Structure 1
Amino acid sequence: MQYSVEPGLYAIGQPDAESDVFVTANYKLSFDILRKSLKGFNAWILVLDTKSINVWCAAGKGTFGTDELVRRINEVQLHKVVHHRKIILPQLGAVGINAKAVQKQTDFKVYFGPVYAKDIPEYVNAGYKKNDKMRLVKFTMLDRLILTPMEINPAMKRFPIFALIVLLIFGLQPSGILFKDALSGGIPFLLLGLMSILSGAFITPVLLPFIPFRSFAVKGWITGIISTYIMMKTTNLDILPAVSSYIFFPVASSYIALQFTGSTTFTNMSGVRRELKVGLPIYLVFTVLSVMLLLVYKLFQWKVL
């Protein structure tokens, strides 16, 4: 996963002391896209150390930030490389940069360029002015669909642990663990688990703007409760496992959907923090309640209660 570029100053073409300076992250894909967009230009690229994270995410995490930009400008002695005092940053990095502080500490004035690197030639030719198209982030259904494997993959990596817990709970008997009971009782829960991953990591992102409410957690819960209801129509669970399912799987879908905030234009860092502050305690309480109901169900099976 070392998909990174060494931080520092790079030349595109044959730049001189009057050439533009563009700033990017040291995530190799970000660097390559910028380099490709500057084909035919004579320019400098200043690469910040964002720990191999793209500009947008790094700006939110603070690695594409004021301190790193100032440090890198001073380290490469940019004032000796160019005569002008202008640096051009991607618009999506603005959240992490205090332009006034950068200018005060380095004497370089920060300009925020277009959202997409492919628009840089048009931006430069227009006298470093952006039109509305250059300020707009597109996030179509196809864009969201392309990102869903990145959400499904980590969820599926955790699924074997969930499956093991479920099979242990349903297979556990006073005489030991019975494989037949584990499968007959656990398979509906495993299918519900797969459905919650599908609803949280695929359905919610794809249908994001069409699902009511702004909160990702609520959107994920809505798709989760609907998918759980549909799946429950195909199963024949006893009352306690059914209630446990309606409690757990919608919040599982909600939690998975909340992970998509790192890939979307629909929210910001403060919004994510608010959702986590409210959502995490609810996820914990509902999970514990769901497990307790299953344990009570097992005790009834064993005729302890």
Structure 2
Amino acid sequence: NVWCAAGKGTFSTEELVNRIRLTGLDQVVRHRKVILPQLGAAGVSAHQVKEESGWLVEYGPVRAEDLPAYLESHRATREMRKPRFSLVDRIVLIPVELVASFVLFAIAAVVLYFVAGWMAALAAVVALLAGSALFAVLLPWLPTEDFTTKGLILGLIIALPFAAYVYLGEGTLAARALTMLAYILILPPVVGFQAFGFTGSTPFTSKSGVRKELLT
């Protein structure tokens, strides 16, 4: 998305100026104004674009669906300026997150099935669904601000039923304790890692916040 690209520098002043020149935009239109998504402002310096290319940067609305109304007056309403990340918006992103991790988790599930049994394989599947789907749904209600910690908490929650099943199962106390510990120690970091990847899909994280999570 635009916010993520602006944050990591691929939607930037340099790239914008370069594309204006490469496309010969000045030969296509008579004006010298380019409208950018509002969330791209994190990566673009309007005055530098003006100095280097002669083009004036105008920041449009957050959402593309508001562009027709914005173009009528070139004035954004308060609602146009407000980033939204509703449940529907988050659910739309779930397939993207699932596809990105599906192959890795599918391989892990198959290997775990033959090495440790169906419960371990199920845990891999549940971790994928929790980190990619359940996290997106529960995002606003999970405690703490950083996404990794939110994911760790969610991972611990989904690990508890597995630990309880093992506790009530058969085998020696030592064997059950080790298996329970494995679920409790492994699932939270896996879900936390999945959750961290979601930072680039949201409109309310910050570059400093993401950098802090990376370093800690």
Query: CA–CA distance in 2 between the matches of 1:124 and 1:266?
Result: 25
- 2:82 paired residue number: 136
Distance 1:157 1:110, change over 3 A: same
Structure 2 matches for 1:57-96, cutoff 5 A? 57-96=4-43
- 2:50 paired residue number: 103
CA drift of 1:74 comes to: 2.7
Distance 1:146 1:76, change over 3 A: closer
Query: Could you give the per-residue CA deviations for residues 209-238 of structure 1, whole angstroms, max 9, x where no partner exists?
Result: 011111111111111111110222223361
Query: CA–CA distance in 2 between the matches of 1:160 and 1:83?
Result: 53
Q: TM-score, normalised by structure 1?
A: 0.62
Q: Which amino acid aligns with 2:100?
A: P
User: Contact 1:195–1:228 at 8 Å: present in 2 too?
Assistant: no
User: Contact 2:106–2:125 at 8 Å: present in 1 too?
Assistant: no
Give the length in aligned residue pairs. 209
- 1:149 paired residue number: 95
Distance 1:256 1:110, change over 3 A: same
Q: Which has the higher strand share?
A: 1
User: Contact 2:3–2:203 at 8 Å: present in 1 too?
Assistant: no
User: Contact 1:113–1:123 at 8 Å: present in 2 too?
Assistant: yes
Distance 1:117 1:201, change over 3 A: closer
Distance 1:199 1:85, change over 3 A: same
Q: Secondary structure at the match of 1:266?
A: coil
Query: CA–CA distance in 1 between the matches of 2:5 and 2:210?
Result: 15
Q: Which structure would you say has the larger RCO, counting Cα contacts within 8 Å and 6 or more residues apart?
A: 2
Q: TM-score, normalised by structure 2?
A: 0.86
- 1:261 paired residue number: 199
Q: 1:117 aligns with which of 55, 64, 84?
A: 64
Q: Secondary structure at the match of 2:58?
A: strand
Query: CA–CA distance in 1 between the matches of 2:28 and 2:125?
Result: 56
- 1:205 paired residue number: 136
Query: Could you give the per-residue CA deviations for residues 262-294 of structure 1, whole angstroms, max 9, x where no partner exists?
Result: 21123133322221222xxxxxxxxxxxxxxxx
Query: CA–CA distance in 1 between the matches of 2:165 and 2:58?
Result: 58
Q: Which runs of 5+ in 2 are unaligned?
A: 170-174
- 1:240 paired residue number: 178
- 2:215 paired residue number: 277
Structure 2 matches for 1:8-87, cutoff 5 A? 54-87=1-34
CA drift of 1:77 comes to: 4.1
**Structure with larger Rg:** 1
Distance 1:114 1:252, change over 3 A: same
CA drift of 1:166 comes to: 3.3
Q: Secondary structure at the match of 1:207?
A: helix
Query: CA–CA distance in 2 between the matches of 1:254 and 1:117?
Result: 31
Q: Secondary structure at the match of 1:87?
A: strand
Q: 1:229 aligns with which of 160, 164, 168?
A: 160
Query: Could you give the per-residue CA deviations for residues 24-80 of structure 1, whole angstroms, max 9, x where no partner exists?
Result: xxxxxxxxxxxxxxxxxxxxxxxxxxxxxx533332332221112212223344445
CA drift of 1:160 comes to: 3.6
The Cα RMSD (Å) is 2.1
User: Contact 1:224–1:254 at 8 Å: present in 2 too?
Assistant: yes
Q: Secondary structure at the match of 2:94?
A: helix
CA drift of 1:90 comes to: 1.4
